[in-house]
């Protein structure tokens, strides 16, 4: 694993104007994330977690401060350039999966590549199949979301996040809709991807989930309260194996 910095945040501030009041969601957040890290960002609601996530995901720009994503300063970019950055450098995983209904897993995974003119139809398909195989769904290519379980749907969403080979996977409460068993298997998948060198930033409010990551950043009141390396990182795969099998289905 290299020490190349994927994310560099320097004194990020974000203010919203709500009528006459100014709400300060982020009050100077600074941290770096190196390639290959598995970072969880934790915090209770109102801590600025969502605003930080939007900023990291290039959906929003900070009012002040600099944010470099893979060396690119996003402050200088316009709406369309941000869209391209999201397309090529970030893979989003959402709590609600956000798959297109009545659309096959394969087509859902191909979606980001459709917005990248560099890919031919064949390349798109090959890449999507590869990504689905990476999340162990190689046999569910033609299934539509309503034919898949919650865990499987989230796997499709992860495949979709992987397909563009982004520098970072940004997950927003990715296990929030899943039961504990399924969320362990999803976390096991994230850990597996991380072990292959993928940088993962995982936003959550569950301390349980944070214990699977290599580093935890705690937010409170718009500031970084704690930034610590997880010494005794748990393996989701082992936990999954330890669960009694009779609970299956």
Partner 1 sequence: MSLLNLLRIALKALQRNKLRAFLTMLGIIIGVASVIAMVAIGQGSKQSIQQQLSGMGSNMIIIRPNSNISAGARLDATAVQTLTLDDVKALQKQASHLSAVTPLASAKGQAIYGNNNWPTTIQGVNPNYLDVIRQWPLKDGIAFTDRDVQSQNKVCLLGQTVITNLFPNGENPIGKYIRFGKVPLLVIGTLSAKGESAFGQDQDDVILAPFTTVQRRVLSTIYLQNIYASAIDEKSTTAATDEISDILRTTHRLKSTDEDDFAVRTMQELINTFSSTSQLLTVLLAVISGISLLVGGIGIMNIMYVSVTERTKEIGLRMSIGARGIDILLQFLTEAILISITGGIIGVILGITSARLVTVFLSWPTLVTEYSILLSFLVCFITGVFFGYYPAQKASRLDPIEALRYE
122 is an interface residue for partner 1 by CB under 8 A: no
Q: What is the 3-state secondary structure (H, E, C) of the chain?
A: CCCCEEEEEEEEEEEEEECCEEEEEEEEEEEEEECCCEEEEECCCCCCHHHHHHHHCCCCCCCEEEEEECCEEHHHCCHHHHHHHHHHHEEEECCCCCCCCCCCHHHHHHHHHHCCCCCCHHHHHHHHHHHHHHCCCCCCCCCCHHHCCHHHHHHHHHHHHHCCCCCEEEEECCCCCCCHHHHHHHHHHHHHHHHCCCEEEEEECCHHHHCCCCEEEEEECCEEEEEEECCCCCCHHHHHHHCCHHHCC
Q: Is 37 in the site for partner 1 (CB under 8 A)?
A: no
Does 116 help bind partner 1 (rule: CB under 8 A)?
A: yes
Q: Residue 48 or residue 57: which is nearer to partner 1 going by CB?
A: 57
By rule CB under 8 A, what string of x and - marks binding of each residue 178-217 to partner 1? ----------------------------------------
Stretch that binds partner 1, among 7-15, 95-103, 188-196, 204-212 (CB under 8 A): 95-103
Task: Out of 30, 98, 136, 230, name the contact with partner 1 by CB under 8 A.
Answer: 98
Contact residues toward partner 1 (CB under 8 A) are: 54, 57, 59-60, 79-80, 83-84, 86-88, 92, 94, 98, 100-103, 107, 111-112, 114-117, 160, 164
């Amino acid at each position: 694993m290299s020490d190349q910095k994927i994310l560099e945040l320097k004194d990020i501030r974000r203010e919203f104007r709500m009528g006459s009041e100014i709400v300060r969601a982020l009050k100077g957040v600074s941290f770096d994330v190196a390639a290959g890290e598995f970072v969880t960002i934790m915090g209770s609601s109102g801590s600025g977690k969502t605003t930080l996530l939007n900023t990291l995901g290039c959906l929003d720009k900070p009012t002040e401060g600099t944010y470099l994503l893979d060396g690119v300063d996003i402050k200088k970019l316009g709406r369309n350039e941000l869209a391209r950055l999201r397309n090529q450098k970030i893979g989003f995983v959402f709590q609600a999966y956000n798959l297109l209904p009545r659309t096959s897993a394969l087509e859902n995974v191909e979606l980001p590549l459709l917005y990248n003119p560099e890919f031919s139809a064949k390349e798109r398909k090959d890449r999507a199949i590869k990504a689905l195989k990476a999340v162990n769904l190689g046999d569910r290519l033609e299934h539509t979301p309503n034919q898949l379980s919650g865990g499987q749907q989230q796997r499709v969403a992860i495949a979709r996040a992987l397909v563009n080979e982004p520098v970072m996977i940004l997950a927003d409460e990715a296990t929030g809709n899943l039961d504990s068993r399924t969320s362990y298997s999803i976390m096991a998948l994230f850990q597996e991807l991380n072990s292959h060198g993928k940088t993962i930033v995982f936003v959550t409010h569950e301390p349980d989930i944070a214990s699977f990551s290599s580093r935890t950043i705690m937010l409170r009141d718009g500031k970084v309260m704690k930034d610590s390396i997880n010494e005794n990182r748990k393996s989701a795969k082992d936990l999954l194996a330890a669960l009694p099998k009779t609970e299956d289905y």
